[in-house]
Amino acid sequence: MHILVTRRLTLRPPIAFDAEDIALWLSNRAVARMLARVPFPYAQADAEEWIAGLADDPDAMVYTIHRQRLIGIVSIEGAGPEPELGYWLAEPWHGRGFVSEAARALIGHAFATRDIAAVRSSAFVDNPASQRVQQKLGFSVCGGGNAWSVPRNEMVAIVKTRLTRAAFEGDAHVRPAAHAA
């Protein structure tokens, strides 16, 4: 199992034991409504199925975020030269920089171990916190559009972003963010 360690967090691939915490945190409407593909309400069976399905995508880099306990997920998924960053954090830990720290570590790991040119992401336009995370990481806005939100059961306007390898590697505060354990 590959583990990433930052100053305040430990990141590791999800295991069956994590399903209970994942279901607990994604059962919060405030968290779920900012995600595109998560059903709501979210049950432990949903988490168990999601974890089991991760084996079907060998290119996915999916990590649980831990600070004394599981507090969120960060992932880079998709094949090709520009996979997509996704993340969520349990509401009690919002506003403390944990998502930025976890995403920075995973992006650094992805650029160090994969032949990718850039990482893409997006955020709902009514999610300024997620847009700030991407901005802090060095992502640039590259478009907009709409995406279906399963928990909202409607189309929602999104901001699309992109972070190139050169922009990430040129950011001096990014490079020492994590080490593998």
Q: Is the pLDDT of residue 154 over 80?
A: yes
Across 3-8, average pLDDT: 97
Q: Is the pLDDT of residue 172 over 50?
A: no
Q: What is the pLDDT of residue 180?
A: 54
Q: What is the pLDDT of residue 60?
A: 87
* pLDDT tens readout for residues 25-63: 999 999 999 999 999 999 999 999 999 999 888 778 999
Q: Is the pLDDT of residue 139 over 70?
A: yes
Q: What is the pLDDT of residue 59?
A: 78
Q: What is the pLDDT of residue 171?
A: 64
Across 96-106, average pLDDT: 98
Across 91-103, average pLDDT: 97
Residue 42 is classified by DSSP as -
Which tokens belong to 64? 């649980």
Neighbours of 122 (CB within 10 A): 25
**In sequence order, which ranges of the chain are alpha helices (DSSP H)?**
19-26, 29-32, 44-53, 98-113, 128-137, 165-169
Domains of the chain by residue range: 4-180
Instruction: Classify domain 4-180 at the CATH class level.
Output: alpha beta
Across 121-126, average pLDDT: 98
Q: What is the pLDDT of residue 57?
A: 83
Measured distance between the N- and C-terminal CA atoms of the chain, rounded to whole angstroms: 9
Q: Is the pLDDT of residue 176 over 60?
A: no
User: Is 54 or 180 the better-scoring residue by pLDDT?
Assistant: 54
Under the banding of pLDDT at 50, 70 and 90, the label for residue 170 is confident
The answer, yes or no, to whether the previous bond of 41 is cis (omega within 30 of 0) is yes
- Its pTM stands at 0.91
